[in-house]
Amino acid sequence: MTLFDDSLTLLQTLVRNACVNDLTPDSGQEVRNADSLEEFFCAEIAAGRDSGAVTVQRLEPRPGRTSIIVTVPGSDPSAEPLTFLGHTDVVPVDAAHWTRDPFGAQIEGSGADARIYGRGTIDMLGLTAPMAVVTREVAREALAGRPPRGTLTFVGVADEEARGGLGAKWLSAEHPEVLDWRNCISETGGSHLPVADGSDAVVVTVG
């Protein structure tokens, strides 16, 4: 399996879990995607717990609204960390406007013409899945004695579609220590960069 194949398979799983956030406190149920992500990492987590090469945390402010944090500690405490901040919830669907199952993750065509159909493939499970795949590869290297220089953290966060009150916003307020917020790549990418007047207003977008 290639990294692409792993990403596609994981993406299909995340889409099919249908973690639909309709802005009500008990919707989303991102626990389904947290479970799938933990299962995806299971071998690395099991092997890394004793050595400290990989750690995992699950946090939820409300039953079912689960965020998962997988950390691969770096070898150099002074090195810049990197955080992949992906969310696992999706917005509701208007079924009348869909010609395919919005949670089927159906693939049509082949090669360069192949397309996948499903809610969340763009926003943002299509990025969350490869972020997890890359993190797992780095974890495997760490378990083989080749950790990254800087700490790498993957976060599958709940409740992004409702502005993070039960997700990133809650984590930053209640558990700020579980991840490093300095260099987070999410939907728009980028990092905090000091500019000439001392402000912190530059966003770098990678597309």
Catalytic site residues?
89, 160
Give dist(CA 56, CA 67) in Å, integer: 11
Q: What radius of gyration, in Å, describes the C-alpha atoms of the chain? A: 17
State the CB neighbour count (10 A cutoff) for residue 93: 16
Instruction: Spell out a b/e string for 56-86, using b for 16 or more CB atoms within 10 Å of the CB, else e.
Output: beebbbeebbbbbbbbbbbeeeeeebbbbbb
Give dist(CA 76, CA 88) in Å, integer: 30
Q: Encode 97-147 in three state secondary structure.
A: HCCCCCCCCEEECCHHHCEEECCCCCCCHHHHHHHHHHHHHHHHHHHCCCC
User: How are beta strands 55-59 and 67-72 bridged, if at all?
Assistant: antiparallel
Q: Which helix (H) or strand (E) holds 174?
A: helix 168-174
State the CB neighbour count (10 A cutoff) for residue 168: 22
